[in-house]
Amino acid sequence: MSAWVWIVTLIALVVVLAVDLLIVGRRPHEPSMREAGGWVAFYVGLALVFGVGVWLVSGGQAAGEFYTGWLTEYSLSVDNLFVFVIIMARFAVPRQFQQKVLLIGIVLALVMRGAFIAAGAALITQFSWVFYIFGAFLVYTAITLFKQGENDEEDFKENILIRWSKRALPISSSFDSGKMTMITETGRRLFTPMLIVMIAIGTTDLIFALDSIPAIFGITKEPYLVFTANVFALMGLRQLYFLLGGLLERLIYLNIGLAFVLAFIGVKLFLEALHTNTLSFINGGHGVHWAPEIPIWLSLLVILGTLGIATVASLYKSSRDRRKDLVNSGV
């Protein structure tokens, strides 16, 4: 993509983020279902329209890669929400400040993913064999995610940075006005728990970026499509958090579905690495052309089908368990 396309895209992103910051900064509140649903529909619609624009400018292949990448990143971002819910509960963040936490978390995620995308694109350009590493990492992540099963509070463990911050910094017991610092009646400046929450969100974003960037490079190698798919997946995440609410707890098979998606993309990456192989100890440094190629339309169908099955199975299981609990309680 040309430089001016990148510039226009980045300006549009900054404008949208500025509007979000203005809304949250002027009136911290918990959005209603109608407000959250409207914003989620807006961002999803924007992504669909953007994909049509990609189709008109660059053709169906590029549009298919964008839609597949966006769907993959969106589903992985929903998994982020599980951890965000746990962090909010663990640190007892007041509901009116949760929008601010999510927005800053999204900005941090965009910055980190932007850096990872630039690094990943540079690596792929110089070393095609990096796809072997990406593929193996995604398969390993998929196995870990499958073994982990349903998300719960035990999945979030305070890392060394969080533990050090709680020990070394003067932290108040109150969130006060939702800022990072506050001044006590005696004039002493203290950090609020908001700082610890931001550290937890930021380090979580870093961990999730390590999974999501190799995954989308398994779908498209075009840095612009990788970046925009991540942007559109993250932009509506704040409102989606409030829209889904308790539904997140019912998506008990989402991790299994995501594990299958990551494993599928990992295998796809490995097959692509075989096609462009330059490693001397594999086929004498030549491409392995008998390895099957997975077209983008098949990738899209597999991802859509997997996520659809995981969602339906989760809701069915949750509904059945709820009916059993009602019967056992004698209601």
Give pLDDT tens digits for 156-206.
566 677 778 777 788 887 777 777 788 877 778 888 888 888 888 877 777
Strand, coil or helix: 292 = coil
Decide if 324 is inside a domain. no
Decide if 259 is inside a domain. no
Q: For 140-163, how does the pLDDT look when each residue is reduced to its tens digit (9 = 90+)? A: 888 888 877 655 555 556 667 777
CA 190, 195, 200, 202 dihedral sign is negative
Q: How far apart are CA 225 and CA 61, in angstroms?
A: 11
Q: For 273-289, how does the pLDDT look when each residue is reduced to its tens digit (9 = 90+)? A: 787 777 777 877 777 77
DSSP character for 159? -
Is the confidence at residue 263, as pLDDT, over 80? yes
Decide if 18 is inside a domain. yes
Q: For 299-316, how does the pLDDT look when each residue is reduced to its tens digit (9 = 90+)? A: 889 988 998 898 899 888
φ/ψ of 208, rounded to 5, equals: -70, -30
Is the confidence at residue 82, as pLDDT, over 80? no
Is the confidence at residue 329, as pLDDT, over 80? no
Q: For 101-137, how does the pLDDT look when each residue is reduced to its tens digit (9 = 90+)? A: 877 777 888 888 888 888 888 887 777 778 888 888 8
Decide if 30 is inside a domain. yes
pLDDT of residue 70: 92
Q: How far apart are CA 82 and CA 155, in angstroms?
A: 10
Is the confidence at residue 297, as pLDDT, over 80? yes
pLDDT of residue 309: 92
Decide if 318 is inside a domain. no
CA 99, 100, 106, 109 dihedral sign is negative
Confidence grade of residue 52 (pLDDT, cut at 50, 70, 90): very high
Is the confidence at residue 79, as pLDDT, over 80? no
Which amino acid, residue 96? Q
Q: How far apart are CA 36 and CA 42, in angstroms?
A: 10
Mean of pLDDT over the chain: 80
Decide if 73 is inside a domain. yes
Confidence grade of residue 28 (pLDDT, cut at 50, 70, 90): low
Is the confidence at residue 22, as pLDDT, over 90? no
H or E segment and range at residue 183? strand 181-183
Confidence grade of residue 21 (pLDDT, cut at 50, 70, 90): low
Decide if 173 is inside a domain. yes
H or E segment and range at residue 189? strand 189-191
What angle (nearest 5°) sits at the alpha carbon of residue 219, between those of residues 213 and 224?
65
pLDDT of residue 149: 62
pLDDT of residue 55: 94
Decide if 148 is inside a domain. yes
Q: Take residue 108 and report the two structure tokens written for it.
A: 């941090």
Q: Report CA-CA distances (Å) from 33 to 88, 89, 243.
A: 19, 20, 6
Q: Report CA-CA distances (Å) from 193 to 22, 98, 293.
A: 23, 13, 50
Is the confidence at residue 5, as pLDDT, over 70? yes
pLDDT of residue 200: 82
Please tell me the total count of domains within the chain.
1
Domain of residue 219, residue span: 3-239
pLDDT of residue 51: 92
